[in-house]
Each structure stands twice: as structure tokens, then as C-alpha cells.
């Protein structure tokens, strides 16, 4: 698996898209920091970008990479390696190369601005961790969708729909629910539904860490009330981790029974 | 070398292989022929463990291959479409496969034979179709395994490379290797194959020497013999 991972990573890291993605974060980081002159504010803005863009890029690249490398995957399948090693290796190569662009692209401007001398360093690390998790989760789900659909158009459509649902529609439904059922106690419902969406969960995590959850309204307040900041952070980290492992299990299960 | 019994495979409602029985002897060179959709590729992919049969058994070198993956260490496979990671260099893709198999290979010899040295440091996306196919050949032949499976090996090759490939295959057979290949080029079959496996509707329609097939169909040559079989089964031909 490590071997496949290594070569997938080196292939992807040299693709034009990786440079582009890297340059985007680099530019955004510089612009936000030097216009805002405030690391904390830059982190919040950055979070808003990452929790939408990270999953989108993960989904789109995951789908494109799987479908583009299908013939090569067939060659790999004819080699003496286990199926699960091939797909996990390819997936991790992709997720890590995307995360690499993100971490380096954001790391450079923040480091130059003087991140290491400020006390925001842990908040920044949290931002990177969330970006990494979301990349892993969504590229993993993209891989699973691609494995399950021979038809590329259908696979691509499903993946984009999944992103749209998690990033936009989910919040809408959530809000409607809160309004419709406002007569009832909704704390548990609000908690549960935030956990079921990794994007919401990431948002809450960063806001809890930045200790400004009151700004984000109901869910954040509920989370803070229930867990207290420390525990809430721990709980969301744990659930985010479950979200990261889930696609891996799905990929392995699907790959075992698939005909190529 | 290969023994297949009662092999069945369905894709949805489409029965691709039906109770297929086949046995391939060691040290023979076999052309797998048949119209489009007759199950050639599926058969090959079953042997490589890429397609999982619904029922039946496949044994290679005396061992059943079900739930195993180590047996593939003794097989060389050349896929029909050469499409490699676009940003890797030729040198890197060769290194990658050697790395995966964890053993030495005769890549230097083959690179020289197919005159690929000037391309070694080029990225794969910059290669022409023919050069890509040569890389594909090097990757397939470099491990020197006793069983070779080639899917349309002559795709996109120029006449010089084609001649070299034929010579190479000839040399491999003389070493006692078992070779299976699919093709649509009858000339290639006449040139290099000893035996023919003819697939029709997911079953073996004919297995035997080239001469035996020509005699069976009462045809002047192999091309006519095969055309006759296609004509007698018109539904398949259009499928």
C-alpha cells in the first residue's frame, strides 16, 4: 500500500491542479493576512473558505482521479498485490497530495506573517487539521462513489450532489426543522444533526476553539452548553475521526467484490 | 498450466461466460479469438482475478486462484489500453512496478531492444501512442514469468516495433513459456500462434491447432475459416 501511495502522491503532486490549488491558498493567505492585519480574523475567514472549498476540491479530484486512472488501476490489479492495498494507496496518495497543497499553501503566508510569535498557533493548527480531515473525508467518499458507479457522468453527478447536500442543502433543512419544531426542546436534535454532517462539525469545532461560538448561534451555543469547550472539542474531534475512517471501510468493502 | 472448469459469469442479465471449460498446456502459444462481446476479455480478467466468477474454478500452475493474490507474481500481463499516470516519467513507472513486485527485472535489455532510452526521462503524458505501447510491452515482458497474457499486443505499433515484438514472443515461447493473447489481426495469429481458442457466446467453440480449424471449416485459409464461423453466427456478429 505504501508503494502505491508513494507513486500516486508523486504523480499527483506534479499535476497542474496541485500547483493551482497550492497557489490559490498561498494567495488567499497573503491577501487575508496583510489586508486584515489580524491573525484571528484571517483564521475565521479562512475557515469559511476551507469548509466549503476543501470538500468540493476533495470530491471533484477524487472522482476525476479515479476515473482517469482506471486503466492503470487494471494493470495494478494484475500485479501481485491485494486489492485493498491498491485502492487505499491511491486514495491516500490523492488525499495527502491535496492536503500537502493546503498545508504548505496556508503555512507559508502565516509563517511569514509571524504566526509562530503569536498565540494563535493552536487555532491555526486546528484550521489545518480541519482542512485535512475534510479533504480525507470527501475524497474518500468520492472514491467510494466512483467505485460504485461505472458510469462516469452518474458518478460525477452523485458526487457533486453529495457535496451540495452537505455544504448547502443540509443547513437549509436543519434551519427549517428548527423553525417548524420550535415549540419542542431541540437540543438533542441539533446536536445529533450537526454530528451527521462533517462540514457543520468542522465549523463548530473551529468556533469552539476560537471561543466565539456565541457568534454562530444556536448549534454552537448548544454544543458549548452541553460539553463545555474542552469536552465539546474532544467530542467533535472524535466524530470527525469516525467520519474519516468510514469511507476507508466502504472503499475496502466495495473493492473486494467489484469486477473490473 | 491453466485449467478452467464450469466457469460462469453474468453481468446483470447478460451471461458472458457459460459453463466454460478450458485447459491450456504448458509451453504453448494460444490465440484467443472471437467476435466482439464473446467473452475474451472477461475470460482473461477472470484468470487475473480482476473479474470474480459467479461459479466454477480456475487453477493456474496446479493451484486454485480463488481468494489468492500471490499467484499473480508468476504472471505477466499486458493490458489492451496503455494509460499510465500522466505525470510520472517512463523511468519511474518501470521502477514502480519493480518496486511492487520487489524483484529485479530485465528492463535494461528490453529498453535497448525497443530503443526507448531517449524517452526514459519523459513524462508519460508526452508520449505518442506507439511509444506508450512499447513501454507497455517492456512492463509486461520484463519480469520473465512463465505465463504471459497479452491483450491486443500489437495496438498502435509501427511495423519495425511489430516485427521486434513477434521476434520477442517467438524467443519467449522457445524458452518454454506459456502465452495467451487476444487479437483481431489474423495475420498475427498465422505468424505466431500454435493453437487457437475460439470463443462464441461465452463458450469454447473450438480449441486446437490453426490447421485443424482451417480443415474443420473446409476453408482455403484461416481468414476464411474465421469469416465462415462469424457468418454462421450472425446474431453474435452484430451484438
- Residue B72 in contact with partner chain A when CB distance is under 8 A: yes
**What gap in Å lies between CA B187 and CA B31, rounded to an integer?**
11
- Residue pair A16/A64 in contact (Cβ under 8 Å)? The answer is no
- Residue B50 in contact with partner chain A when CB distance is under 8 A: yes
Residues of A in contact with B85 (CB under 8 A): 7-8, 11, 69, 72
- Buried b vs exposed e over B69-96: b needs ≥16 C-beta within 10 Å? eebbeebbbbbbbbbbbbbbbbebbbeb
Min CA distance, B228 vs chain A (Å)? Answer: 32
CB contact under 8 A, B70 and A80: yes
Q: Mean per-residue pLDDT for B58-74? A: 88
pLDDT, tens digit (0-9, with 9 covering 90-100), for B4-15 = 988 889 888 888
Residues of B in contact with A253 (CB under 8 A): none
**What gap in Å lies between CA B189 and CA B187, rounded to an integer?**
5
pLDDT value at position B239? 39
Of A11, A77, A79, the CB nearest to B87: A11
**What gap in Å lies between CA A136 and CA A129, rounded to an integer?**
10
pLDDT value at position B237? 42
CB contact under 8 A, B139 and A78: no
pLDDT tops 80 at residue B235: no
pLDDT tops 50 at residue B233: yes
**What gap in Å lies between CA A50 and CA A175, rounded to an integer?**
22
pLDDT tops 70 at residue A215: no
pLDDT value at position B58? 92
**What gap in Å lies between CA B71 and CA B61, rounded to an integer?**
9
A70-84, A110-124, A166-180, B172-186: which range is least confident on average? A110-124
pLDDT tops 70 at residue B85: yes
pLDDT value at position A139? 95
Q: A6, A7, A89: which to substitute to probe chain B, counting the most B Cβ within 10 Å?
A: A7
Rg of chain A over Cα atoms, rounded to whole angstroms, equals 19
**What gap in Å lies between CA B100 and CA B102, rounded to an integer?**
5
- Residue B177 in contact with partner chain A when CB distance is under 8 A: no
Of B50, B87, B99, the CB nearest to A77: B50
Q: What is the DSSP letter of B29?
A: E
pLDDT, tens digit (0-9, with 9 covering 90-100), for A181-202 = 888 887 778 888 888 899 988 8
Which pTM does this prediction carry?
Answer: 0.87
pLDDT value at position B32? 93
**What gap in Å lies between CA B39 and CA B45, rounded to an integer?**
10
Q: N- to C-terminal Cα distance for chain B?
A: 32
**What gap in Å lies between CA B85 and CA B218, rounded to an integer?**
48
A80: helix, strand or coil:
coil
Q: Which residues pair with B33 in a beta bridge?
A: B198
CB contact under 8 A, A74 and B97: no
Q: Mean per-residue pLDDT for A226-230? A: 66
Q: A15, A16, A19, A72: which to substitute to probe chain B, counting the most B Cβ within 10 Å?
A: A72
pLDDT value at position B238? 41
- pLDDT level of residue B35 (50, 70, 90 thresholds): confident
Q: Mean per-residue pLDDT for B57-76? A: 89
- Residue B11 in contact with partner chain A when CB distance is under 8 A: yes
CB atoms within 10 A of CB A57: 22
Min CA distance, A254 vs chain B (Å)? Answer: 13
CB contact under 8 A, B72 and A260: no
CB contact under 8 A, B50 and A259: yes
A6: nearest CA partner in chain B:
B96
Average pLDDT, chain B: 88
Residues of B in contact with A255 (CB under 8 A): none
Count Cα atoms within 13 angstroms, Cβ side, for B3. 5
Min CA distance, A194 vs chain B (Å)? Answer: 39
B10: nearest CA partner in chain A:
A259
pLDDT, tens digit (0-9, with 9 covering 90-100), for A136-166 = 999 999 999 999 999 999 999 999 999 999 9
pLDDT value at position A226? 67
Min CA distance, A77 vs chain B (Å)? Answer: 6
User: Rounded to 5 degrees, what angle do the CA atoms B92, B95, B96 make?
Assistant: 85
Q: Which residues of A touch B (CB under 8 A)?
A: 3-4, 7-8, 10-12, 14-15, 69-72, 74-83, 257, 259-260
- Residue B120 in contact with partner chain A when CB distance is under 8 A: no
3-state helix, strand, coil in chain A (%, to 5): 90, 0, 10
Residues of B in contact with A259 (CB under 8 A): 11, 45, 50-52
Min CA distance, B150 vs chain A (Å)? Answer: 12
B96: nearest CA partner in chain A:
A7
CB contact under 8 A, B50 and A69: no
Amino acid at each position: 500500500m505504501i508503494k502505491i501511495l508513494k507513486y500516486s502522491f508523486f504523480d499527483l503532486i506534479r499535476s497542474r491542479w496541485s500547483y493551482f490549488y497550492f497557489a490559490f491558498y498561498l494567495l488567499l493567505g497573503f491577501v487575508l493576512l496583510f489586508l486584515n492585519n489580524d491573525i484571528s480574523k484571517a483564521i475565521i475567514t479562512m475557515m469559511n473558505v476551507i469548509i466549503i472549498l476543501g470538500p468540493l476540491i476533495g470530491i471533484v479530484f477524487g472522482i476525476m482521479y479515479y476515473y482517469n486512472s482506471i486503466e492503470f488501476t487494471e494493470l495494478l490489479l494484475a500485479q501481485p498485490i491485494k486489492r485493498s492495498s491498491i485502492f487505499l494507496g491511491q486514495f491516500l496518495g490523492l488525499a495527502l497530495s491535496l492536503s500537502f497543497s493546503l498545508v504548505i499553501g496556508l503555512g507559508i503566508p502565516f509563517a511569514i506573517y509571524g504566526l509562530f510569535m503569536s498565540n494563535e498557533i493552536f487555532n491555526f493548527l486546528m484550521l489545518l487539521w480541519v482542512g485535512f480531515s475534510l479533504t480525507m473525508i470527501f475524497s474518500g467518499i468520492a472514491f467510494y462513489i466512483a467505485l460504485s458507479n461505472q458510469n462516469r457522468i452518474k458518478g460525477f453527478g452523485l458526487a457533486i450532489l453529495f457535496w451540495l447536500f452537505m455544504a448547502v442543502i443540509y443547513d437549509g433543512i436543519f434551519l427549517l426543522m428548527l423553525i417548524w419544531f420550535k415549540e419542542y426542546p431541540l437540543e438533542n436534535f441539533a446536536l445529533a444533526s450537526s454530528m451527521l454532517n462533517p462540514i457543520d462539525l468542522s465549523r463548530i469545532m473551529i468556533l469552539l476553539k476560537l471561543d466565539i461560538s456565541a457568534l454562530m448561534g444556536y448549534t454552537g451555543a448548544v454544543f458549548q452548553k452541553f460539553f463545555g469547550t474542552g469536552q465539546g472539542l474532544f467530542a467533535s474531534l472524535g466524530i470527525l475521526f469516525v467520519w474519516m475512517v468510514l469511507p476507508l471501510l466502504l472503499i475496502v468493502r466495495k473493492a473486494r467484490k467489484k469486477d473490473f | 498450466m491453466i485449467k478452467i472448469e464450469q466457469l460462469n459469469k453474468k453481468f446483470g442479465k447478460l451471461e458472458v461466460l457459460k459453463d466454460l471449460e478450458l485447459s491450456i498446456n504448458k509451453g504453448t502459444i494460444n490465440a484467443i479469438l472471437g467476435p466482439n462481446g464473446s467473452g475474451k476479455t472477461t475470460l482473461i480478467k477472470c484468470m487475473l482475478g480482476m473479474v470474480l466468477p459467479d461459479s466454477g474454478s480456475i487453477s493456474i500452475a496446479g493451484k486454485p486462484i480463488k481468494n489468492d493474490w500471490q499467484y499473480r507474481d508468476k504472471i505477466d500481463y499486458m493490458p489492451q489500453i496503455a494509460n499510465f499516470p500522466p505525470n510520472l516519467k517512463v523511468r519511474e513507472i518501470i521502477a514502480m512496478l519493480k518496486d511492487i513486485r520487489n524483484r529485479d527485472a530485465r528492463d535494461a535489455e528490453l529498453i535497448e531492444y525497443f530503443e526507448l532510452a531517449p524517452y526514459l526521462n519523459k513524462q508519460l503524458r508526452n508520449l505518442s501512442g506507439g511509444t506508450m505501447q512499447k513501454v507497455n510491452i517492456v512492463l509486461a515482458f520484463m519480469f520473465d514469468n512463465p505465463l504471459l497474457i497479452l491483450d491486443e499486443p500489437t495496438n498502435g505499433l509501427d511495423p519495425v516495433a511489430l516485427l521486434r515484438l513477434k521476434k520477442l514472443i517467438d524467443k519467449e515461447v522457445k524458452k518454454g513459456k506459456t502465452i495467451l493473447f487476444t487479437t483481431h489481426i489474423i495475420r498475427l495469429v498465422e505468424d505466431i500462434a500454435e493453437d487457437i481458442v475460439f470463443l462464441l457466446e461465452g463458450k469454447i467453440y473450438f480449441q486446437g491447432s490453426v490447421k485443424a480449424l482451417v480443415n474443420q471449416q473446409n476453408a482455403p485459409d484461416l481468414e476464411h475459416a474465421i469469416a465462415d464461423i462469424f457468418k454462421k453466427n450472425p446474431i453474435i456478429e452484430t451484438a
